[in-house]
Chain A
Amino acid sequence: MSDSRDAAVAAEPDGSEGDGTRPSGADRNDATGSDAEDGNATGAAGDGERNRNATDPAATRSAEPSTEGNHRREVATDRWLGIAGAALALVGLGVLVRQPSLVLAGAVGVGYAVYARTGEAPTPTLAVTRSVSDEAPAPGDEVRVTVRAENAGETALPDLRLVDGVPPGLAVVDGPARVATALRPGAAVTFEYTVRAARGDHEWEPLTAITRDVAGARERTTTLDAPTAIACTPELAAGGDLPLRGLTTVHHGRVPTDVGGAGVEFHATREYRRGDPLKRIDWNRRARTGELSTVELREERAATVVLLVDARESAYVAADPDAETAVEASVAAAGQAFSALLDGGDRVGIAALSPLDCWLPPGSGTVHAARGRETLATDPALAPTPSGERFYRSLWLRRFRRRLPGDAQVLFFTPLVDDTAATLARRIDAHGHLVTVLSPDPTTTETAGRRLTAFERRQRLRTLRSAGIRALEWGDDSFPVAVAAATRRWSR
C-alpha cells in the first residue's frame, strides 16, 4: 500500500489524493468481485475521475474502479553514454587540425548530449481496461483478450511499452501480449492477444508499463492493476469407463449385504409398488404373465473414498518444461475417479496435499458432484501453478486425520518424486485407512540426475508395494488403461 501511495504522489505532486474522490482499497475489492462476473475490468493510474465519468454505472460490462499505478523505479539507461566524449574528441581534432567543419560536426554531437540529459521518464497516468471474450471457457478454448490503455494524464508519453500480466497458468497462442507506442494526452492504444484456456481460476497480474523520455535516456517501470479473471472448469468425465470397483471393494466399503434394494446383483422379486424405477420392473414376467413386479437387487453398502491429490510445489513437475504437470494429470485422474465412484454409489470426498487447505467432505448426489467438479477445477490448493507457500507435513497430517472419516479409504494421487509422499501414504495406511497410490509418471531418462530420480521413484513404488500398499502408475498410457491393468492384477 505504501508503494501505491508513493505512486500517487509521483503521479500528481499536488497531493490531490486527499480529496476523497480516490477509490479506497475497499472499493477496489468490491470491484474485483463484480469484475469476475462481468469479465471486464478497468484500472487507472493517477486520475480516477476521468475514468469514472466516462463509465456508465448502469452498464454491466464495465467496472469503474481505478487503481493507482505502482511506481517501481526510474533508471538511467545510459544509452547515450559516451556521446559527449565523441563530440569533444571531434571538436578537439577540429581545433588541432584547424578544420572548422569538424568543430561543427562535433557541436552537433554536443546537441545530442544535451538532448540526452534534458528528459525525464514520465510517470504514466493510464486508464487500463482489459476484457476477455469468454470468462468461463472450456479447457482448450481460445480466449481473446483485449487491452485498452488511455493516457488519462496531462503529459504526453513519447515512448510507452506495455506488457500484459498474463496469468502464469495460461499460454498465449497468438500475438505477443505487448505493444509499444506513443500516446498524446487523451489518446489510447488497444492491443489483442489470444490465450488457450486451461483448468483453473486464472487471475491476471498487473500490466507492466515502461515509459521512457523522448531521447530514451531514462526509463520508468510502472505496474497497473486491472483485475481480470477467467475460470475454466472442465466437465467431469463420465465415469463409466473407469473400472474402479476393484479399487474399492477389497477391504471395506461396498460390502455385499443381505438387504434387498438398489444394487447390481439379483436378490428377489416382489410386487410392484408405485414409484419403483422403470428399469427395475421385471419386463419378462410382465410379458409372460401380465403382472407388474419389481426386481429387488442385493443392496451394497457404499464405500467412503477420499481422493487425495498431491499439490505440493514438488509435485508441479513434468517430463518437459512445457508439458502438463503431474498435478494436472493427478487432478484429471481424480476427476475421472470422482465421477466413477459417485456413479457407483460411493461417497467421495476431495483433499489436497498442499500448503493451502482444501477439503471437500465425502458425500454423494448431484449437488455434491457439482461441488466436486468446482473443487477440482478451481480450488486454490489445486491451482495450475504452485502457491509458493511452505508446506508443513505433520501439521497437514494431523488435520487430515482429524477430518478423515474412520471407514474412509484414500486414493492418493502423487507423482512420488520425493520421500514425503511415500512416507505419508504409509502413515495414513498405518492409521487403518486403505491407501491406494495412483502415480502419474513425470520422470524422464535424458540425464544422469533424471535417471537417478526415476530409479528412486521406481524404488519408492516397490517399497510401497512391499509394505502392502497398492500402487499403480501411469505415464504414456491413459489413467483408465492403467487402472484396468492394475485391477486385473489385484483381483487375481
Chain B
Amino acid sequence: MSGEASAGVASDAGSASEASGDESAGTTAGDDALVDFHETDSRPPTVAIVASLAAAGVAATAALVASPVGGALLGVAALGLLGGSLRSSTRVLGWGAAVGVVGLAVAGYRGAPAEALLVAAVGLAVAWDVADHGVGLGEQVGRGARVRRNVAVHAGASLLVGALAAALVYGVSLAVGGGQPVAALALLLAGGIALVSALR
C-alpha cells in the first residue's frame, strides 16, 4: 500500500529477496505490538567472551614476561579471539589461535622459560576453546538464554586438561633433568609424527 517509497527500494536493490528483507525489517520496526515476536540473539554469550578474554590475557602476560615479541603476538591473538567472538566467526577464532601459536613459537625460540611458556600455552588453548564454544552456543542457544553453568563446566574442564598436561610434561622434564638428551626428543618427535599421521 505504500507505493513510491517502496518501489524506490525495489529499484535499487539488486535482487528481489534483498528488497523483501529491507521491507520486512522496516515494517516490523514500525508496527504495533502484534508482531513483537522474540528475535533470537545468536551472538555468543557474554560470559564466554569474558572468560575467553581473561584466559587470553593470562597467556599474553605470561608470554610477555618471557619475550616481548611473543607476548605481543599473543596479545594480537587475544584481539583476534575477541573479534571472532564479536563477529561469531569460528574462522576468525581459528586465525587468532594460529597467531597465538606463532607467538608461542617465537617466545620459545627466544628462549622463554618452560614455566612461562606452559602457562601461555594452556591460557591460549583455554581462551580459544571457550571462545569457540561460545560461538557454538550462540548459534544453537543464543545470548538471551541461561548458559552460565554450561560455560563454566566447559571452561573448567578445558583448564583442568591443560593444567594436567602441563604438570605431566613439566614433571617429566624435571625428572629427566637439565641435560636434554636430544636423541630422546628426536625419537619422540619421530614417533609423534607417525602417530599423528596415523590418527588423522
The answer on a CB contact under 8 Å between B9 and A178 is no
The answer on a CB contact under 8 Å between B109 and A99 is yes
Residue B68, interface by CB 8 Å: no
In the complex, what residue of chain A is closest to B113 when comparing beta carbons? A101
The answer on a CB contact under 8 Å between B154 and A214 is yes
The answer on a CB contact under 8 Å between B142 and A176 is yes
Interface string of B154-195 (1 = CB under 8 A from A): 100110011011101110010000001010011011001100
Partner of A95, one of B98, B151, B182: B182
26 contacts between A and B (CB under 8 A): A79-B132, A90-B105, A91-B188, A93-B105, A99-B111, A102-B105, A104-B117, A112-B162, A163-B140, A171-B35, A172-B38, A173-B36, A176-B40, A176-B41, A180-B137, A182-B149, A214-B154, A215-B157, A215-B158, A323-B27, A444-B1, A445-B6, A445-B7, A446-B19, A449-B16, A476-B1
Residue A200, interface by CB 8 Å: no
The answer on a CB contact under 8 Å between A109 and B125 is yes
Kindly list chain B residues whose C-beta atoms are within 8 Å of the C-beta of A445. Answer: 1-3, 6-7
In the complex, what residue of chain A is closest to B94 when comparing beta carbons? A82
Known contacts A104-B118, A111-B161, A174-B38; A446 and B141 CB within 8 A of each other: no
The answer on a CB contact under 8 Å between B146 and A95 is no
Of residues 216 to 273 in A, which have CB atoms within 8 Å of B's CB atoms?
216
Which residues does A use to contact B, with CB under 8 Å?
Answer: 77, 79, 82-86, 88-95, 97-105, 107-113, 115, 117, 158-161, 163, 171-176, 178-182, 191, 193, 196, 210, 214-216, 319-324, 444-449, 451, 475-476
Residue B136, interface by CB 8 Å: yes
Kindly list chain A residues whose C-beta atoms are within 8 Å of the C-beta of B185. Answer: 94-95, 100, 103
Of residues 1 to 43 in B, which have CB atoms within 8 Å of A's CB atoms?
1-3, 6-7, 9-10, 13, 16, 19-20, 23-24, 27-28, 31, 34-38, 40-41
In the complex, what residue of chain B is closest to A115 when comparing beta carbons? B161
CA separation between A451 and B136, bound complex, in Å?
41
Partner of A171, one of B38, B122, B164: B38
CA separation between A193 and B37, bound complex, in Å?
12
Kindly list chain B residues whose C-beta atoms are within 8 Å of the C-beta of A109. Answer: 121, 125
How far does the Cβ of B53 sit from chain A's closest Cβ, in whole Å? 19
Residue B108, interface by CB 8 Å: yes
Kindly list chain A residues whose C-beta atoms are within 8 Å of the C-beta of B109. Answer: 93, 97, 99, 102
Residue B82, interface by CB 8 Å: no
Known contacts A95-B182, A98-B182, A105-B120; A181 and B150 CB within 8 A of each other: yes
Interface centre among A112, A163, A191 (most CB of B within 10 A): A112
The answer on a CB contact under 8 Å between A178 and B142 is yes
Kindly list chain A residues whose C-beta atoms are within 8 Å of the C-beta of B153. Answer: 158-159, 182, 214
The answer on a CB contact under 8 Å between A104 and B37 is no
The answer on a CB contact under 8 Å between A102 and B101 is no
The answer on a CB contact under 8 Å between B189 and A91 is yes
Residue B145, interface by CB 8 Å: yes
Kindly list chain B residues whose C-beta atoms are within 8 Å of the C-beta of A179. Answer: 141, 145-147
CA separation between A115 and B24, bound complex, in Å?
46
Interface string of B78-119 (1 = CB under 8 A from A): 000000000000000010011001001100110111100110
Kindly list chain B residues whose C-beta atoms are within 8 Å of the C-beta of A172. Answer: 37-38
Known contacts A214-B154, A444-B6; A102 and B145 CB within 8 A of each other: no
In the complex, what residue of chain A is closest to B3 when comparing beta carbons? A445
Interface centre among A79, A176, A446 (most CB of B within 10 A): A446
CA separation between A451 and B19, bound complex, in Å?
13
Kindly list chain B residues whose C-beta atoms are within 8 Å of the C-beta of A174. Answer: 38
In the complex, what residue of chain A is closest to B173 when comparing beta carbons? A104
Partner of A180, one of B145, B157, B173: B145
Kindly list chain A residues whose C-beta atoms are within 8 Å of the C-beta of B144. Answer: 175-176
B contact residues, range: 35 or more
Closest 8 interchain pairs by CB? Answer: A111-B165, A102-B108, A101-B114, A446-B6, A171-B37, A182-B153, A180-B150, A172-B38
Kindly list chain A residues whose C-beta atoms are within 8 Å of the C-beta of B157. Answer: 158, 214-215
CA separation between A215 and B144, bound complex, in Å?
23
Known contacts A111-B165, A446-B23; A180 and B146 CB within 8 A of each other: yes
Partner of A101, one of B112, B122, B133, B200: B112
Partner of B108, one of A83, A93, A163, A323: A93
The answer on a CB contact under 8 Å between B118 and A182 is no
Kindly list chain B residues whose C-beta atoms are within 8 Å of the C-beta of A103. Answer: 185, 188-189
CA separation between A322 and B24, bound complex, in Å?
8
Kindly list chain A residues whose C-beta atoms are within 8 Å of the C-beta of B149. Answer: 181-182
The answer on a CB contact under 8 Å between B147 and A180 is yes
How far does the Cβ of B48 sit from chain A's closest Cβ, in whole Å? 10
CA separation between A296 and B154, bound complex, in Å?
84
In the complex, what residue of chain A is closest to B27 when comparing beta carbons? A320
The answer on a CB contact under 8 Å between B9 and A446 is yes
Known contacts A89-B101, A108-B165; A100 and B146 CB within 8 A of each other: no
How far does the Cβ of B62 sit from chain A's closest Cβ, in whole Å? 11
CA separation between A86 and B108, bound complex, in Å?
14
Partner of B114, one of A85, A98, A104, A111: A104
The answer on a CB contact under 8 Å between A112 and B147 is no
CA separation between A158 and B149, bound complex, in Å?
10
Kindly list chain B residues whose C-beta atoms are within 8 Å of the C-beta of A117. Answer: 199
The answer on a CB contact under 8 Å between B125 and A322 is no
The answer on a CB contact under 8 Å between A100 and B20 is no
Kindly list chain B residues whose C-beta atoms are within 8 Å of the C-beta of A86. Answer: 97-98, 101
In the complex, what residue of chain B is closest to A187 when comparing beta carbons? B149
| Apart from A97-B108, A103-B188: 11 A-B pairs, beta carbons within 8 A | A82-B94, A89-B101, A95-B182, A104-B166, A107-B165, A158-B154, A181-B147, A193-B38, A322-B31, A446-B6, A446-B7
CA separation between A97 and B108, bound complex, in Å?
9
Kindly list chain B residues whose C-beta atoms are within 8 Å of the C-beta of A214. Answer: 153-154, 157
